[in-house]
Amino acid sequence: MKLIVKKTVALSGQVSPPGSKSQSIRAIMLASLCRGTSVIKNCLRASDTADAIRVCRAMGAVISESDDMLTITGRGLPLDMQTERIDSGHSGLTTHFIMPLLGFRKNPDHPVVLDCSKQMRARPIKPLVDALCNLGLQIDYLENPDTLPVRLSGQLTGGKTIVDGTTSQYLSALLFALPLAPDDSEMIVNHLQERPYVEMTLQWLSRQGIQVDHRAGGGADIWKIKGGQFYQPFHAVIAGDFSSAACLIAAAVLVPGDVILQGIDMNDPQGDKQLVYILREMGADIEIQPTRLRIRGGKKLTGIKIDARDIPDLLPILAVIGTIAFGKTEICHVAHARIKETDRIHSMFDGLSRMGANIIEQDDGLIIYQSALSGAQVKGFGDHRTVMALAVAGMIADGETVIDESEAIHKTFPEFVEIMQSIGANLEGEHATLA
């Protein structure tokens, strides 16, 4: 699918983002590990959560879906696997979370194969594999070292290990799994990034009464987890997704108008809510209310330096914001944005350069100078965040912008085009036709 975007002169109205992807997948995984029935409302309905649901059904959970909620009945441990081969699809979070949980199978000596999409196969998993092998699992690469697919056998027993913190998903996956292991565990985590996502994981554990001890020192984080714990069924309402809302917020700031964003919670631990404070520092008119934001767009912005180590998903839209901000915007300490669905540092450099931006690619980020953008044919790189950010760029550019591989938005925000159109954005999706 191609996304065709033209300059938008004004935005107005009220919109709501979808439910948080990160919270939704954590809730689905947790509910599937309980013995009993859990109810999750406002769960994201997108391809990433569909991947999580499929994987949890393969682990034996019974999941029913309705328009506004999921009902999940788990059988507890050990997991009664329904298949010997699991496909985690495009979802990195699902892939990383499922790996340690496969160590709780009913027949741990009977191998199971974990595979994923071609895009996910390109992402490294060696740090997580090495950590899991120290904790009782046996994992063999089936094709290429350091990537899926893999064959897993053995039991996740607990113990001591070292975890790379370049992506917080490795640590969060282990924090979810190790309380269920028979033995106590200790993890040393080096170079921990994306700390708000770890706080999100810890919030779920705290609600369940799980015992986790954390201390930091000597440049590392040390986690001690008591084994033999268990999860109990729960009811939860998922907050709106700040990562998806980021493009709605940015568009409302960059284009003149008056937009209300509903269904968000500034007290939720999602790190990407930081965008609101970054934009206000740059000069945006954003009024924070208990469950919504009111944004009056078109105000003059000034470039700043942004440490994005905890908010890598914001790099694409921050780069777009930088093109309209007076002076220089520097996004730094976010080299790990290169190992997402695509290399987001390069994808945004490529797309914005094609549109005429004065932008410099660095090892760990981008430098962007205020620029006059022009419409162009740009690549979506199969990455939902890149596609949505370039769509916002197209809304402030002169002429027409065409973004390829825009079907990637279905990963986390299937309604992106329709919601943007509802407040006045000049964009539309064009599906390819067969000759």
Q: CB atoms < 10 A from the CB of 335, how many?
A: 17
Question: Average pLDDT over the chain, rounded to whole?
Answer: 95
Asked whether residue 433 carries a pLDDT value surpassing 50, the answer given is no
Only one residue has tokens 């340690």, namely: 100
Tokens (6 digits) for 178 = 């190790």
Q: What pLDDT does residue 218 have?
A: 80
User: Residue 34 in contact with residue 267, Cβ under 8 Å?
Assistant: no
Instruction: Write out the DSSP string of 133-174.
Output: HHTTEEEEESSSTTSS-EEEEE----EEEEEE-SSHHHHHHH
360 confidence band (pLDDT: 50, 70, 90): very high
Q: What is the pLDDT of residues 320-359, one digit of tens each?
A: 999 999 999 999 999 999 989 899 999 999 999 999 999 9
Q: Which residues are CB-contacts of 22 (< 8 A; sequence separation ≥ 6)? A: 93, 197, 200, 241, 243, 270
Q: What pLDDT does residue 435 have?
A: 35
Q: How far apart are CA 178 and CA 71, in angstroms?
A: 25
As annotated, the active-site residues are 313
Give the residue, 93 or 431, on which the prediction is more confident: 93
50: helix, coil or strand? helix
Q: What pLDDT does residue 291 have?
A: 87
206: closest CA among 188, 184, 231?
Answer: 231
* Interval 10-19 mean pLDDT: 96
Q: What pLDDT does residue 219 have?
A: 81
User: Which strands form 62-65's sheet, in the order they lie side by side?
Assistant: 62-65, 69-75, 35-41, 235-237
Which of 33-37, 55-59, 116-120, 295-299 has the lowest average pLDDT?
A: 116-120
Q: What is the pLDDT of residues 122-153, one digit of tens each?
A: 988 999 999 999 999 999 999 999 999 999 99
Q: What pLDDT does residue 275 have?
A: 98
Asked whether residue 432 carries a pLDDT value surpassing 60, the answer given is no
434 confidence band (pLDDT: 50, 70, 90): very low
Eight-state DSSP code of residue 17 = P
* Interval 34-39 mean pLDDT: 97
Q: What pLDDT does residue 217 have?
A: 80
Q: CB atoms < 10 A from the CB of 104, how many?
A: 20
Q: What pLDDT does residue 345 have?
A: 97
